Amino acid sequence: MTTTALDRRLMAANIRMSRRHLGLTGTNPSVGTLVVRDDGDGPVIVGSGVTATGGRPHAEPLALAEAGDRARGATAYVTLEPCAHHGRTPPCAEALVNAGIARVVAAATDPDSRVSGRGYEMLRAAGIEVEQDVMAEEAKGVLSGYLTRSAEKRCEVTVKLAVSADGMIGRDAAGQVPITGDAARAQSHLLRAEHDAILVGIGTALADNPELTCRLPGLSARSPLRIILDRTARLPLGSRLVHSVGDAPLAIGTAHPASERAQALEGAGVRLIACEEHEGRVALPELLDDLAAQGVMRLLVEGGAKVARSFLAEGLADRIVLFESDVVVGANGIAAPFTRATIPGEYTASGEWRFGADRCHEFLRSK
């Protein structure tokens, strides 16, 4: 049997559902599973699951537990190949077999060397019909952080920028200048919630005194790790960032972790990430590798202009989220490192925008 339009609709729903725990699953990807059966009256979803917060249980046992006996003879839709290894939980492929699942429709193959095709083999060996690579590209939209960390041993980077109508991101020495409004604010807090870590430069931290927490109603417990690029450990102990260290973890990437100031910050609960230095700045590629080794899959870069420019110039940005507003900043504006017109990239022969290899951007127009 091949896949049907219904398979694709159910997989699309499953992929959307799997977004729910982005940023919450620790070092594990956020995976979705639907268990669907048709007893003649049309398809019914009898079980659903998303990788639990913290990363375990995996999605499959949660969906199977909900389905109970109704899993027997049913089809399971999974956004990632079911695991084949005895980790902290038994293999999900085995759980699907034991539950009597008849057919598995899977999107992306798991690059984890303990799985990588073995999950499918276990299912097929037990007589389960397996359809793989179904909407794999769409599933990668949710799994891309995990896949980047697996393939390149670095975290995936989203650069977020709000640009005024005259191409500015703020005004010199004016602190936070409102460029976008409530809709964009909500959207960017949601963006924070879906990332494992957020990063800004010390310049932004000093100029704006931001908190960088996720303050959406109901989602405030989802504040990711806040990282400040702070080569010489200048972050003030009295900043909002340090004051809110009880609400969300805070780290500085510094080349001087043994300095008195860095030690004082550590005493206040700030994590120190020892960084290499490159031309008077924190070396970014090494930092991204280091963060990936610590389990960070998705990093959101929120500013300022110099930091965003560095990530782009070094080819370290995977995705750009650009908020475009109608506000005019006018005199003393700080020019955006890029605008829609100047985003580096190229149109391919098919007319598709390519931002480096396999990279993408999103434009959000917002007041």
Among 8, 16, 20, 56, binds ligand AOF (CB under 6 A): 56
213-240 as b/e, with b when 16 or more CB fall inside 10 Å?
bbebeeeeebbbbbbbbbbbbbbeeebe
The span of 108-116, 259-267, 336-344, 358-366 binding ligand AOF (CB under 6 A) equals: 108-116
| Catalytic residue annotation | 60
Q: Of all residues in this chain, which one has the CB nearest to ligand AOF in the complex?
A: 87
Per-residue contact string for residues 168-187; x = within reach of Zn ion by CB under 5 A? --------------------
Indicate which of Zn ion, ligand AOF, none lies near residue 179 (CB less than 5 to 8 Å, by partner kind).
none
- Contact status, residue 32 vs residue 47, Cβ threshold 8 Å: no
Is position 87 an interface residue for ligand AOF (rule: CB under 6 A)? yes
**Residue 112 binding ligand AOF, by CB under 6 A:** yes
Q: Are 60 and 96 in contact (CB under 8 A)?
A: yes
Distance (Å, whole) CA 194 – CA 264 = 31
Stretch that binds ligand AOF, among 27-35, 125-133, 202-210, 312-320 (CB under 6 A): 27-35
Work out whether 151 is an interface residue with ligand AOF (CB under 6 A).
Answer: no
Which of 63/255 has CB closer to ligand AOF? 63
Neighbouring residues of 1: CB distance < 8 A, sequence distance ≥ 6: 103, 129, 131
- Decide: is 189 part of the binding site for Zn ion (CB under 5 A): no
Distance CA 339, CA 322 (A): 8
User: Which range binds ligand AOF by CB under 6 A, 86-94, 207-215, 234-242, 261-269?
Assistant: 86-94
Cross-strand pairs, 33: 49, 78
- Does residue 59 belong to the site contacting ligand AOF (CB under 6 A)? yes
For the chain, the distance separating the N- and C-terminal CA atoms, rounded to the nearest angstrom, is 49
Among 24, 67, 74, 83, the residue binding ligand AOF under the rule CB under 6 A is 83
**Residue 132 Cβ vs ligand AOF, minimum distance, rounded to whole Å:** 14
Look up residue 69 and give its DSSP letter: G
* Degrees to nearest 5, angle at CA 2 with 350 and 105: 90
What tokens does 334 get? 């700080």
Binding-site members are 58, 83, 92, 162, 192, 204, 208, 212, 215, 302, 304-310
Find the binder of ligand AOF among 11, 14, 22, 51 (CB under 6 A).
51
We find the least distance from the C-beta atom of residue 134 to Zn ion, in angstroms, to be 18
DSSP for 91-141 reads -HHHHHHHTT--EEEEEEPP--TTTTTHHHHHHHHTT-EEE-STTHHHHHH
Q: Please tell me whether residue 275 adopts helix, strand or coil conformation.
A: coil
* Residues found near ligand AOF in the complex (CB under 6 A): 28-29, 31, 51, 55-56, 58-60, 80, 82-83, 87-89, 92, 110, 112, 115
* Residues found near Zn ion in the complex (CB under 5 A): 58, 83, 92
